[in-house]
Structure 1
């Protein structure tokens, strides 16, 4: 699903770039690819550290982020030599300004999540869903709408803790594999990360690009449509995201 989402977004980006006549970059060539890969090899190790470390269970996702930052500093200072201590303090200041925004968003959304849980709002909503219909496809669309709405107001980790115990039994009761449900949830929450008013990734993008959030959100509308299309495919075509898991773990997953 992630690869499919990336392809869909790249296709739209290509179309809009042609339509708006954006300036073209360096034409693709094998020699240029090798040249770029050679110069970027040390930076690419950052991604490898995160992915391999998390998958292998060496450290958590949060710890991998800290290790990636340390590695990036080492590469910038001693290998590429494109950063000095003056640049470091400027980068640190910008990072802290951006981090402050994100932490405020996470803290307020966490408090909001606690309030919703205390008032048992998610449980009431799930009861309402089952009371409206028992149709599998209708329940799936309502679950998607619910997760999308929560994704715009709360942090991802909070939503997972609040909604998973409530929605997973509903999903399994209508024949949805837990892995399939997990993919649906993560896709929904990924959309929530770039959706106002609490989309932390959207705020980070606005802060880095120095583009007003209102203008950036308006420009994101076509991308939201692309992501919703991918979400619908993931939701209603189980084989799209279950083929590989079923091949790897045919008994545990398929059962």
Structure 2
């Protein structure tokens, strides 16, 4: 194995990040420097530029800007208030009721909007002040909001599942979407258990028990929002439309719903489109740069060398999955989820498929794992959104975050070592 390209890649990438270079440019520049080990400068520059452009030439990737726009429309369309009202009637009377409402609402909102940051922003701004008024510690309420927001990246429709499908070379998006439901629900339930224990320990009160009539009324109010999930996932699984076509339908549906709820007006649309465009630009630049790095890695045979190295350590499935999970947990601390999926999928997927692990199962493992990194400093984007919305500090959030991290890691290991939790639903629908 030639270690020089790998060393150049690691040293240049870490060095660029250390001096404050944006992540996308750090990826692109380190990819070019890696290629310079064995290719002259002009072809290396031309190849990286070409790979960045062709990396975005994919019909499946069109789903991402549409889902981002539908998420923005949902975020401004009065969806969050109705989901919170429905969640309140379900769990408001339990210990730590407001924390549980936050988790359930985030699962709904994240699934509908497909964005952890949109969920953290919406839930934090609406529920944060209410939790503080009821005597909840700000650090605890922020920690609950941050961790629960990530469940929407596993529960479909999810942009990152589409990115994984692209990086894996063709894992079924419909199968990935179905595979995300049970892992996402398990993660949410474990977060709720931890939140209830913490609330009991701290003496946080409970709300009033809701009547069946109140539950039914709030459910009816929330049905139009929840129907988006049925429309998008049902249409994809039934083969009526592709994920890209479903994303366009989601935009149209969420736009109409926003006007019906009178939360979106023509005056607000330019700002919504601008926000969606800015987010899309950032995501697409990361994808383009990461695709160039994936190609450079493949050209230098780095994935094959790492695969052979890992398999030389052990061919035990349990041990190898443990090693990969630990590596991904460390990666998630220092790298955002999109480039991490694009870069490390081609490295680890050949290893796990040799051991008979389903690519769909591994995709859920990888994304659930990297979601933990979104809640950790120094790069955790959801962490900083949650802290910004709550107007608090990392120091106050870290302590209550720790038991919630444990819940997420327990969920990760359950999904890792019980494949049926991810594969049962896709199998049920023949995917």
Tell me the TM-score normalised to structure 2 length.
Answer: 0.46
In 2: Cα distance, 1:215 partner to 1:113 partner: 36
Equivalence for 1:223: 404
Matches within 5 A, 1:29-40: 29-40=211-222
SS where residue 407 of structure 2 aligns? Answer: helix
In 2: Cα distance, 1:248 partner to 1:59 partner: 16
Equivalence for 2:319: 138
Question: For each residue in 1:153-210, what CA deviation from the matched residue of structure 2 results, as whole angstroms up to 9, or x when unmatched?
Answer: 4454444443333322321333434443333223223334444444444444445x24
In 2: Cα distance, 1:42 partner to 1:190 partner: 28
**CA offset at residue 141 of structure 1?**
0.7
Instruction: Single out whichever of 165-174 and 123-132 deviates more from structure 2.
Output: 123-132
**CA offset at residue 89 of structure 1?**
6.8
**CA offset at residue 49 of structure 1?**
3.7
Question: For each residue in 1:49-68, what CA deviation from the matched residue of structure 2 results, as whole angstroms up to 9, or x when unmatched?
Answer: 4433444452436x655654
Identify the match of residue 118 of structure 1 among 286, 289, 296.
296
Identify the match of residue 187 of structure 1 among 368, 383, 407.
368
Instruction: Decide whether aligned partners of structure 1 residues 126 and 60 sit closer, same or farther in structure 2, where only a CA change above 3 A counts.
Output: same
Matches within 5 A, 1:1-255: 1-56=183-238, 58-60=241-243, 64=246, 67-77=249-259, 79-82=260-263, 88=268, 92=272, 96=275, 104=282, 107=285, 111=289, 114-115=292-293, 118=296, 122-207=303-388, 209-212=389-392, 214-215=394-395, 218=398, 219-245=400-426, 249=430
Question: For each residue in 1:57-107, what CA deviation from the matched residue of structure 2 results, as whole angstroms up to 9, or x when unmatched?
Answer: 52436x655654553343333x33345566x379749x83x9857865774
In 1: Cα distance, 2:344 partner to 2:421 partner: 24
Instruction: Decide whether aligned partners of structure 1 residues 110 and 154 sit closer, same or farther in structure 2, where only a CA change above 3 A counts.
Output: farther
Structure 2, gaps ≥5 residues long: 1-182
Instruction: Decide whether aligned partners of structure 1 residues 193 and 67 sit closer, same or farther in structure 2, where only a CA change above 3 A counts.
Output: farther
For these two proteins, the number of residue pairs brought into alignment is 244
Instruction: Decide whether aligned partners of structure 1 residues 103 and 221 sit closer, same or farther in structure 2, where only a CA change above 3 A counts.
Output: farther
**CA offset at residue 26 of structure 1?**
4.0
The structure showing larger relative contact order (alpha-carbon pairs under 8 Å, at least 6 residues apart) is 2
Question: For each residue in 1:2-26, what CA deviation from the matched residue of structure 2 results, as whole angstroms up to 9, or x when unmatched?
Answer: 2222211121222223333335334
In 2: Cα distance, 1:71 partner to 1:19 partner: 43
Is the Cα–Cα contact under 8 Å of residues 329 and 369 in structure 2 kept in the other structure? Answer: yes
Is the Cα–Cα contact under 8 Å of residues 332 and 370 in structure 2 kept in the other structure? Answer: yes
Instruction: Single out whichever of 173-182 and 113-122 deviates more from structure 2.
Output: 113-122
